[in-house]
Amino acid sequence: MSGKHGQKAYEGHMHDYEAHIKAVEEDLEYYRAKRFEPRIIYLLRRGVVTFYDLLKVRTELKKKDHFFKLNKPQGKNIEARVRYLEEWLDEYVKGIALVSARTVEGMDMVTEDNRKERGDYDDFFKIKKKEHHGSLQERMVNLEQDLTDYQELLEVFVQALIKRGWANRADLERRWNQLHEERPWAGGVIVARAWTNPLFKQALLTTGREALREMGVHQGKVGKLVVVENTDTVHNVIVCTLCSCYPYDILGDTPWWYKHESYRTAIVQNPRACVKEMFQLVIPPDKEVRVWDSTSDVRYFVLPQRPVGTEGMSEEELAKLVTVDSLLGAGHALEPAQQREREAAHVEPEMPRVRPD
């Protein structure tokens, strides 16, 4: 894994197709093996749906009755194909969210059930992830095929839930539209406020989510929020060694590397070497590194240091300096010159999407 992947979020044009494809491969397998299939197995075991429901639905399903309607690819060149794969993955992930616990009657699962089912506590139950080999071309063809297959199972599963009466189509459609309403990313706004308002910063560091209420930012409710502050003497890094716990209800999707096993293993074995190798981030020897391993009940993010040369900047300008990686300790906030360079090169930061919880 190279540090290039960590930069993916800020690239406007793709320079590294391989990194994009790798990210799609990793995320796709993660969502299939960790989020979707364990849920199906859980429900199969309890007879909520059966294999035979799935088979029957598959046989009877007509194209016009499909729940998920996918866009067509925009062009045949490599960049268009990569973008299409990324968009498709995004729709697949939303589809999984659609059939998550609280949307479907009879599927009263908590995250703990899902974790048990997917082998978080017992390797025996772990669903094997697929490995990817071959040239970039071959890998893209494979991904197109995988997405077709995985999407088909998702479609059939949703249809089976409707057929068995566990969900009704109108409710699912309402929820599906909600999942496509995007909320702006709050990370930059929160950090910029903390940099400029000492009282807010104090509240954020001591009361977590409570502090967000007053600034009108969506508070969410996924665990207790703890914000840890980077200073001249301390550099904080966040990890979830067991899975990928993160305040995603406030900060949106995690970067792909955060879920990656190599990061989750290396960061607690040799933090300095890990951030240097993965993110080209060198922590001076006189700074203490603190790694925070979330085990679900508490969710963490880092308050990065305010970059030098930002005196007198407005909150709005400051917010643009905050990157997703800097909230996890995988980078610093951008210096104004770096940010200007990106703007001049028309590099639009791709911020993670925050979805309704």
Partner 1 sequence: MSNRKCREYGPIDQVMSETNSKYKIGDAVMVAVDNPTGNPRTPKYIRGKRGVIGSVHGVLENVRDHRGIHKPLYTVKFDLSELSPCRDQDTIYVDVHEEWLSEVRPDS
Least distance in angstroms from the C-beta of 315 to partner 1: 26
Interface pick for partner 1 out of 296, 305, 335, 347 (rule CB under 8 A): 296
* Residue pair 21/82 in contact by the 8 Å Cβ criterion: yes
282 touching partner 1, by CB under 8 A: no
> By C-beta, is 65 or 210 nearer to partner 1?
210
Query: Residue type for 218, please?
Result: H
Least distance in angstroms from the C-beta of 210 to partner 1: 6
* Residue pair 132/139 in contact by the 8 Å Cβ criterion: yes
Contacts to partner 1 from residues 64-103, by CB under 8 A: 102
- In Å, how far are 9, 47, 74, 98, 118 from 160, measured between CA atoms? 37, 12, 31, 14, 22
- Tell me which residue of 308, 315, 101 sits closest to 196, measured CA to CA: 315
111 touching partner 1, by CB under 8 A: yes
Residue 149 tokens read as 């297959």
Least distance in angstroms from the C-beta of 299 to partner 1: 10
Contacts to partner 1 from residues 180-239, by CB under 8 A: 207, 209-210, 221-224, 226
Interface pick for partner 1 out of 44, 242, 276, 347 (rule CB under 8 A): 242
243 as an active site residue: the answer is yes
271 touching partner 1, by CB under 8 A: yes
274 as an active site residue: the answer is no
Q: How far apart are CA 290 and CA 230, in angstroms?
A: 10
153 touching partner 1, by CB under 8 A: no
The catalytically annotated residue of 2, 135, 243, 314 is 243
131 touching partner 1, by CB under 8 A: no
Rounded to 5°, angle at Cα 98 from 243 and 109 = 55
Helix (H, G, I), strand (E, B) or coil at 185: coil
The catalytically annotated residue of 2, 100, 245, 262 is 245
> By C-beta, is 196 or 296 nearer to partner 1?
296
Residue 40 tokens read as 């199906």
| CA dihedral sign of residues 261, 264, 265, 266 | positive
10 Å CB burial of residue 338 (0-12, 13-18, 19+) is middle
338 touching partner 1, by CB under 8 A: no
308 touching partner 1, by CB under 8 A: no
Count interface residues toward partner 1 (CB under 8 A). 35
- Tell me which residue of 90, 123, 137, 118 sits closest to 253, measured CA to CA: 90
Least distance in angstroms from the C-beta of 318 to partner 1: 28
Least distance in angstroms from the C-beta of 328 to partner 1: 15
> By C-beta, is 211 or 313 nearer to partner 1?
211
Q: How far apart are CA 46 and CA 40, in angstroms?
A: 10
Rounded to 5°, angle at Cα 90 from 130 and 181 = 155
Least distance in angstroms from the C-beta of 33 to partner 1: 19
Query: Residue type for 340, please?
Result: R
Helix or strand run (H / E) with residue 156: helix 136-163
Least distance in angstroms from the C-beta of 267 to partner 1: 9
> By C-beta, is 139 or 332 nearer to partner 1?
332
Annotated catalytic residues are 240, 243-245
Which residues bind to partner 1, rule: CB under 8 A?
A: 102, 110-113, 115, 120-121, 207, 209-210, 221-224, 226, 241-242, 268-273, 288-298
